Structure formats: structure tokens, C-alpha cells
Amino acid sequence: MTEEKTKKRGLFQRFFKRDEGPAAPEPVGAAVEPAEEAARIRPDFEQVADHAEPDETKGIVGLTKGLEKTRSGFIGSLEALFRSRRELDEGMTASLEQILVTADIGVKTAYQLLEKLTASLKRKEFDDPDAIMMRLRSLIEEMLVEVESPLRLSFGPEPLVVMVVGVNGSGKTTTIAKIAARHKAAGGKVLMVAGDTFRAAAVEQLEVWGGRIGCPVARGKEGADPSAVAFDALGRALDEGTDLVLVDTAGRLHTRVPLMEQLKKMRRTLAKKIPAAPHETLLVIDASNGQNAILQAKQFNEAVPVTGIALTKLDGTSKGGCLVGISNELGIPVRYIGIGEKMHDLRDFNARDFTAALFAGTSIPDRQ
């Protein structure tokens, strides 16, 4: 390793944080020149990511657009209910229960919300639809805040390894490319690993992305053992001074080895090369699975402890309410949400923005 690289590795430490804003790099060791350190501080992650995004879909506007279908389904039904009934009586409670239960947030979470709602409303608010809606909104936000914990990536003495898991078609490869593009734009050195070795198309897909965003892809021979490919890739990442390694995995296997066993083996293998790896096991879930998404998350979590979730395709479904159920039932940090196929359509999950976008423009018109 060159002297410069060794220095660079000693300069920074990585850490995951829950706090606001990108984490400031922490100097490690004594021989750090302030000027040298300052020169290495990279641009703000968020700002860089936003650069590529057109003005008309930036920030909350894009999110509101992305959640349009879920809003018109779930919130639309609530509005319709409040238009026809104004008092939280038995009939209204039953209808509310039905809307919540069918809103893909899961039965358990639906009942919890309903219970909290009726318990927290003041007497005089029982016939005030706006108050009921506002209370429901804040209860949902409270549940989501619990899992808001964006993945902050910064330099470390060794590469940060993110293993990405999920069923076929959930959006793993696309999400990996989106994360790689963001981190690269922020000045990071990224390596994507084609761990879905059983489908030639899957490797090619990652390579196409690699070409587009200018990011190297580590691959093995077709049908190679994914763990062996990942092991070699970590060796390369260590040699080349890579900051971030994103490991793609298969979502279904055509071999006798069950998928979950394969993923467990991959985890063990990564740790053989870098003991703390994978630093993050990111589960990618397609939001259009609705309530099944909760089940899927539970299954993966049992096999490989999932440390973060990326919920994709929120733009194409009315089942985005499943995020509330996943959050409430699993309590796993939600790192990202996907609201489209483009590079900038991956957002850090923010509970307040998400709730605001979900309830955007909510109005309870006077009853006819």
C-alpha cells in the first residue's frame, strides 16, 4: 500500500449516526495536518445527490408526487369517510378500522393506531374531522420517527461493506447503483460486487450501471460461488483503498442451496476478510408487496440480521402504507425509500417529510 493510501486510511473513521446532517469525519491518530484534513472533507452528501435532480421534483415535491397513489388510496378513503360522517361514534370507528386494516399497514398496527387515536382525542375533538385526521397523522409520524436512521457513510481505515439482500425484482441492483452514484458524486471510491452470479443478466445489469456511473464492478465467472466472488472483491477493495463496497446478492437460487443459507455463508465469508463486515445488511423491499412486505422482512431478518431497509417502488403503488406496518412491527431502521427508476429517485428516509407528503393537501370539506 502506498504511503499516501496508508495515511488516508489512518485519517478517518466511519460511523453510522442517527443525527441530523452528514457525519463529520473523525481524525484518527496524531499526525494529522489540519489543512490536509480539511482537504479531505468531502462535499455534503445530500447536496451532491440533489444536484442531479430537476427542480420540479426536488425535495418534498418529488416525494409528494412519488406517494400520489398511496395518498389517493389511503388518505382518499379517510377523506371520503370524514365527508360522510363527522363524529367518532361506533359507526365511524368501524369504518376507520376497515380503512386502516385494508391500507396495507397490517392488522396489528391498524389496531394499535385506532386504539391510540381514540385514547388520545379529547371529548370535543370527537366530532372534529380535522382534529381526528391531524391526530392520526401525528400518530403515524410517531411510529415512523422510531425507524428514521439514515445511513451515513464516511471514510474509514478499511472499506465499509454493505450487503444488499431481497427477493428478485425488489430493486436491489437499481438501489445499489443509486447508492453508488450518490457516494461517488460525494467523492467516494466505490466498488460494486456482482454477487448474483446465477443469472448472467444480473451481472450484466450491474456492469451497465457501473459503466453509466463510472464505478468498477467486481465479478466472477458465471455460476461462480457468490461468497468467493465477494471474498475476492473485498481483497481488491482493501488493495485499492475503496471506501464503500456494495455487494449485490441473488434473490432466488436455481441450485440446491437454499437462498437464506447462501446469504448466511456470504456474511461469514465477508467477515473472514474484514471482521466487521458486513457493516450493513440492507434489505430491499418492493412496496407493492403491501402487507406481504412485512412477512418478507421477517423471513430475511431471521436468516441474516437485517440492519436497514430500503423500501422501493413507492411511486408505483397504493400500498405505501406498508412502511408504517414494517416500521411498527420490526423496528428496523428504514434507510432509504425509492420513488422512481432514476438515479435521484432514492431518498434518505425522513419520517416528517414522508408523513407530510402522505397527508399533503388533505382537506375535509364540509358535508353536503
Ligand X SMILES: Nc1nc2c(ncn2[C@@H]2O[C@H](COP(=O)(O)OP(=O)(O)O)[C@@H](O)[C@H]2O)c(=O)[nH]1
Closest CA to 69 of 281, 247, 317: 317
Residue 140 interacts with which of ligand X, Mg ion, none, CB < 5 to 8 Å by class: none
Residue 316 interacts with which of ligand X, Mg ion, none, CB < 5 to 8 Å by class: ligand X
Measured from the CB atom, the residue of 277 and 339 that comes closer to ligand X is 339
* 309 interacts with ligand X by CB under 6 A: no
State the maximum Cα–Cα separation within the chain, in Å, rounded to a whole number. 76
> Smallest gap, in angstroms, from Cβ of residue 196 to Mg ion?
5
Query: Can you spell out the DSSP letters for 280-347?
Result: EEEEEEEGGGTHHHHHHHHHHHHHS---EEEEE-GGG-S-TTHHHHHHHHH---EEEEE-SSSGGGEE
Residue 129 interacts with which of ligand X, Mg ion, none, CB < 5 to 8 Å by class: none
Q: Are 368 and 81 in contact (CB under 8 A)?
A: no
* 26 interacts with ligand X by CB under 6 A: no
* 88 interacts with ligand X by CB under 6 A: no
Binding mask 132-171 for ligand X (x = CB under 6 A): ----------------------------------x-xxxx
Residue 327 interacts with which of Mg ion, ligand X, none, CB < 5 to 8 Å by class: none
For residues 23 and 194, give the distance between their C-alpha atoms in angstroms, rounded to a whole number: 29
Copy the grid coordinates of residue 70: 398511496
Name residues contacting ligand X, limited to 240-259 (CB under 6 A): 251
Copy the grid coordinates of residue 239: 488493495
> Smallest gap, in angstroms, from Cβ of residue 316 to ligand X?
4
> Smallest gap, in angstroms, from Cβ of residue 247 to ligand X?
12
Binding site for Mg ion (CB under 5 A): 172-173, 202
Measured from the CB atom, the residue of 312 and 328 that comes closer to Mg ion is 312
> Smallest gap, in angstroms, from Cβ of residue 251 to ligand X?
5
Measured from the CB atom, the residue of 152 and 172 that comes closer to ligand X is 172
Residues linked to residue 190 through DSSP beta bridges, in sequence order: 244
Half-sphere exposure of 260 (CA within 13 A, CB side): 11
Measured from the CB atom, the residue of 173 and 197 that comes closer to ligand X is 173
Q: Are 250 and 225 in contact (CB under 8 A)?
A: no
Tell me, by CB under 6 A, how many residues bind ligand X.
19
Copy the grid coordinates of residue 46: 445530500
Q: Are 15 and 149 in contact (CB under 8 A)?
A: no
The three-state DSSP-derived secondary structure of 261-287 is HHHHHHHHHHHHHCCCCCCEEEEEEEH
From the list 10, 27, 241, 316, which residue makes contact with ligand X (rule: CB under 6 A)? 316
Helix and strand numbers (H, E) in the chain are 16, 8
Closest CA to 288 of 308, 258, 325, 315: 315
* 290 interacts with ligand X by CB under 6 A: no
* 173 interacts with ligand X by CB under 6 A: yes
Residue 340 interacts with which of ligand X, Mg ion, none, CB < 5 to 8 Å by class: ligand X
**Stretch of 30-38, 48-56, 181-189, 310-318 contacting ligand X, by CB under 6 A:** 310-318
Q: Interface with ligand X by CB under 6 A: which residues?
A: 166, 168-174, 251, 284, 312-313, 315-316, 338-341, 345
